[in-house]
Every structure is written in structure tokens, then in C-alpha cells.
Chains A and B, each alone.
Chain A
């Protein structure tokens, strides 16, 4: 069995999780506690990849990064060819998972008590320090949950990846693509094996989240017992 889809999927999902965690948390941090119609419209754009069919997302990305677009032409000029390359799988997975991370991060940041932020302000802290030292640590459980969801969803992307990155074995063929083409070519045994691996990875991610949550709760309990 060709193991490259497993390696590729893990690499792609981890890379996308890293990108989306960073960008999603920063954007959510910027957006949090801002009110107004303009921001709500912006939210609509941020959440679009969640409601659009992944193939549409992939197609829009293809148009966006293709040679005929301004950005695509610029990148080509620099010698960067994104479409049908491994980074394209990361871009596809990142864009489709961004709404998940953004929404979870925003919810996690919003549940941090507003007076804590205000107290920090009156104590002379800049917004960047408040974000680092107050918001992030207190929103961390929610952010971690968002990361796991992002990873699991990134692992499963099919449509957007196929359109933007193509199905190149060893370079862009991730697990879902490998399974699809295995089924299509009648190689059921391979499809089953790859499916089992996918289920195992997903379960492991969820299990890790579960363990970690329990560990945190255990810590909190121990602290209470010390009193």
C-alpha cells in the first residue's frame, strides 16, 4: 500500500491547523467586541467557506490563484506556482477550515469576562499585552477545541483540495482523494485500509482533546482541594 496519502494528509492538516489557528485567533481577537453592520458583513465573508460547497470554494481559489488573476500573475512572476502543488492542499484546507476556527476562537474570546480586560486596561496594559496575557490564556480551552476541530476538518477536505491542488499521487493526493480514486478504480481493499487509518487519526485527535480537558479539570480539582 502506498503510504504517501497518510503522510501528506498529516502534513497538510497540521500545516493548515497551524496557519488557521494563528490567523483565525488573530482575526477573532481583532473582531471581538467590535459592533456594527460593517463587521457583520465581514463576518459573512469569513463564514462563507463554511456554507459554500467545497468545490465552489476550490473553484474560486483556482480563479484567485490562477495565472489569469492579478495575484496569480504576480506569483508566477516571482516563480511561485501554487496551483497543483503541495502548498495548494494547505491553502485549500486552510480556507475551508477557517470559519470553524474563527467562530470557536471568537466564542472563546468573548466568554472572557469583560471586566478582566477593563481592569488590565486601567492597570496600564496595552491591547497586545492584554491579548497575550489575559485573553489567550483564559480562552485557551476553547481555542484548543477549535484547533482539534480544524485539524479534523482539514483532514477531511476533498472538493477544494481536488480542484485547487489536483490529484497528484505523492504530491497532492491526500487521504480523501486517495480513497475516492481507490473506490473509483475498484480497489476496495485499499479504500478500506485508508478509511480505517483516517478514522484512527480522527479518533486520536478527539481522544487527545478529551484527555487534555480531563487533565485540566483534574488540575483545577487539585487546586481546590489544597485550600
Chain B
């Protein structure tokens, strides 16, 4: 499975410049609202009229503006699951699923539609209309309808965002299972870091219509290539920095020097994720610095601590740390100052 895309598209003042090459079967497209995620999917599906450039899927050319090639959406073998599912309201579940199998003889068409529906556990709902279905069921119909056509690429546009919060976990699991059987490539758009991380192998980070980074998810999350990618992948703690000798780096905003496992001579920023920050029992270890807790907020299972480093210039807090509730119970009675530890293997530096 290989996708090669070099596409530009324009919508009003917004310009998309997509550069994407991937051999992976599960690709997540991450970005803030308005970053061009949906437009990326639409350009690949052939729904974006202004799209120019080149698009190749497994060697098959879907778009080549230089040669005047632009396959219409219906010939691309690219199926899409829309954000609101876009089920045909006047058609039953079975008719919806069978819609893309138009060219087949009726008997085979029905058999294949029912087969696709069965895989999504829809066999008892075949005669229902979309409005009679729950959000999770609608999503399964949309997926069954898309997969029934045996597409080469499946595009999923925030397929969980229309669901109630308590349903998401469950439906996400189902989605993961059904994608496991799908042999083509799936491009999954979301603004949820965790969703994308759980469902995909490779991640593409989009911002203002451009690809900022792409690669294996572990790589992108562990060592973001830039400050912007770090921010978009949820990194909360960042400081301007300058590289020192011996694998050391000076964090200017934090007023401290620390060791990093993977130094960079041209480092300009140093960062660490909130959940990677730990606390040492005593002062003096490597990358251990005195601090005080200025503020804290809680979620059901975690506590977010806002830390003021004793070394930092200026006021306010510099670091945001996330700890599990039970760890917080152990920590909270400790006298100040606390000793925050920035693991050299968790700290990363970027040059831009």
C-alpha cells in the first residue's frame, strides 16, 4: 500500500499544500480546527474542485494536473466516512450499504451488502431507516457502506466526534476491530491525540494547510521535529534553549541547565511532556530541580500541577505536570520545596 500525494487546493483565503508519502495502512491526520484536515481528505477523494497536483495510490494515478488527469470521485476507489455519516435518509440500512454496489447483478449485490452489514453487526437492522438508529449504529452503517465497495483507501473524517462521550470508547474499539480486517489504507482525521495514537501507525501533523511532520507515531510523539509539532501533539512544557557542551542544554525560560539523552548542537528549544515529569524524594540527582506547586486542578483520575521552578526568572509557573491521583496522595503532604525530575530520556530538544 502506497500513497503519494502532492496536492494544492484553494478555498477562499485558505490554501492547502499537501505533501504526503506513506506506505502505512493506518495513517492519522492530526491538527487543530481549520488546519485543513477535512480538506485533505476531500482532495484525495476527488471532492475538492480546486485540487491540483499529483496523487498516486499503489501506482495508479488519480490526479496529475500536468497531464490533465483528474479522475472523478466515482472512479477513484476511495471511500469516505463523513463526520455526520451522510447516510441516505430515504433508504434502509440495507439499501444504504448496497448503494455502492450498483454495477453488480441484484443477487450478488444483495449478498455482498448483507455480508458487509453482518461484519458490522447490522444484520438485525437491515430494514431500518437511518433516523431509527443510534449514533453508534449510524457510524457502523456508514463504515459498512464504505467498506462494501472494497476501496483502496478509506477516509475517516472524525468518525467519533458526532457520538456521545460515553459511546466513544466502545465505538472506537469496534472501529479498530473492523479496520483490522480492511486491507487498504485508512486515513483517519481527528483532533484527538489519543484517538489517533491508539488507531494509527503513522501520524501526519497539519497546520494552516501544510504538513509540519509525518512519520511513525512513536517517533513524532517522542521527538517532535519542531516546537509547533510538539505543541500540536500535546506538549505543554517548552523553553527557549541553547546547547552546551557534553550533552547539556541551558533552558533559558526555566533558568536551569540539564542533560538531554539526544542533544542537538543547534538546539533552540527544550521541552518535556506533562505526563513525563516525575518527582524525586530528595535533592541532588541528575536533572533534579527544586520547585513549588503554585496551583493544581483535578480530573477524575489525574491531577495537573503547575510548578514554579526556584531557578526561573520572573513570576508565575513554568512547568505543568500530570500525576496519577494515588501518586498525588503520597506527594501532597510533602514540605516545600519539591524536587522535580526531568528525565534526560524524556526531555527533547528542537532546532525550530
Residues of A near any B CB (own CB < 8 A) = 113, 115-116, 118-126, 129, 134, 137-138, 223-224, 226-227
Contact = CB atoms under 8 A, between A and B. Distances in A.
A122 B90 contact: no
Contact of B73 (A113, A122, A129, A224): A122
B100 interface: yes
The residue in A123, A126, A138, A226 that gathers the most chain B C-beta atoms within 10 A of its C-beta is A123
B113 to A, nearest CB: 12
A116 B78 contact: no
Contacts of B233: none
Nearest to B129: A223
B132 interface: yes
Contacts, number: 65
Given A116-B88, A129-B102, A138-B90, A122 B76 contact: yes
Chain B's interface size range is 20 to 34
Interface stretch (B79-87, B260-268, B308-316): B79-87
B184 to A, nearest CB: 13
B86 A116 contact: yes
B80 A122 contact: yes
Contacts of A124: 74-75, 100, 102-103, 149
Interface in B129-149: 129, 131-132, 145-146, 149
Interface of B: 42, 45-47, 72-76, 78-80, 82, 84, 86, 88-90, 99-100, 102-103, 129, 131-132, 145-146, 149
A120 B103 CA distance: 14
Given A115-B82, A119-B80, A126 B74 contact: yes
A165 to B, nearest CB: 41
A125 B74 contact: yes
9 contacts: A115-B86, A116-B88, A118-B82, A119-B82, A122-B79, A122-B146, A124-B75, A124-B149, A137-B90
B99 A121 contact: no
Contacts of B129: 223
Query: What are the 8 tightest A-B residue pairs by CB atom distance, in nearest-first order?
Result: A123-B100, A115-B86, A121-B73, A119-B86, A124-B74, A115-B82, A122-B80, A137-B90
Nearest to A134: B88
Contact of B99 (A118, A120, A126, A224): A120
A123 B82 contact: no
A176 B145 CA distance: 54
Nearest to B45: A122
A173 B132 CA distance: 53
Contacts of A122: 45-47, 73-74, 76, 78-80, 146
A223 B130 CA distance: 11
Nearest to B157: A115
Nearest to B77: A124
A118 B74 contact: no
Given A123-B149, A226-B132, A227-B132, A118 B86 contact: yes
Nearest to A120: B99
